[in-house]
């Protein structure tokens, strides 16, 4: 008890002389040391699941290699296709202008995308892709 009283008197005297205020918390330290830490793991990257128009009435599907992709459209029977080792499969004989829904499983969860095959695929003229100040955003013109 006498030591605490001497310590408080010293701190009070010091603060009166310097004009500063000080706070002391018992049992704490200014610098903390890490004693244990779990390793940081990078989350696994999921394979992309995309449908890109190719030739007239066809779509190029990209998914996990060897995965089963089911495609459906209104008024037609659903059909399944399997991707190759590169994760690609070209689906032909699709009706241009009709919306198709593609479904596959990625990392145990069902992923769904929609795509519309083109009736005519032509090269782009005066097409520009510009970066913006916002990361991950592009400006198309």
As a whole number of angstroms, the distance between CA 65 and CA 85 comes to 5
Boundaries of every domain in the chain: 46-141
More confident residue, 71 or 35: 71
**What is the maximal distance between C-alpha atoms in the chain?**
93
pLDDT greater than 50 at residue 43: yes
Annotate the chain with three-state secondary structure: CHHHHHHHHHHHHHHHHHCCCCCCCCCCCCCCCCCCCCCCCCCCCCCCCEEEECCCCCEEEECCCCCEEEEECCCCCCEEEECCCCCEEEECCCCCCCCEEEEEEECCEEEEEEECCCCCCCCCCCCCEEECCCCCCEEEC
CATH class held by domain 46-141: mainly beta
pLDDT greater than 70 at residue 51: yes
pLDDT digits (tens, 9 = 90+) for 72-126: 999 889 999 999 999 999 999 999 989 999 999 988 889 999 998 888 767 777 8
As a whole number of angstroms, the distance between CA 91 and CA 78 comes to 13
| % the chain with pLDDT above 90 | 31
Chain mean pLDDT for the chain: 77
More confident residue, 86 or 54: 86
pTM of the model: 0.55
pLDDT digits (tens, 9 = 90+) for 19-32: 444 444 455 455 66
* pLDDT grade for 16, boundaries at 50, 70 and 90: very low
As a whole number of angstroms, the distance between CA 119 and CA 49 comes to 22
Average pLDDT, integer, range 53-77: 91
């Amino acid at each position: 008890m006498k030591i605490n009283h001497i310590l408080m008197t010293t701190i009070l005297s010091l603060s009166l002389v310097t004009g500063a205020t000080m706070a002391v918390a018992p049992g704490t330290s200014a610098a903390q040391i890490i004693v244990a830490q779990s390793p940081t793991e990078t989350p696994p990257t999921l394979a992309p699941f995309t449908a890109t128009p190719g030739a007239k009435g066809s779509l190029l599907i990209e998914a996990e290699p060897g995965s089963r992709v089911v495609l459906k459209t209104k008024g037609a029977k659903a059909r399944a296709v399997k991707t190759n080792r590169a994760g690609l499969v070209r689906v032909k004989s699709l009706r241009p202008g009709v919306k198709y829904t593609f479904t596959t499983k990625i990392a145990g969860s069902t992923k769904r995308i929609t795509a519309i095959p083109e009736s005519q695929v032509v090269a782009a003229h005066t097409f520009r892709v510009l970066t913006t100040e916002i990361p991950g955003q592009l400006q198309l013109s």
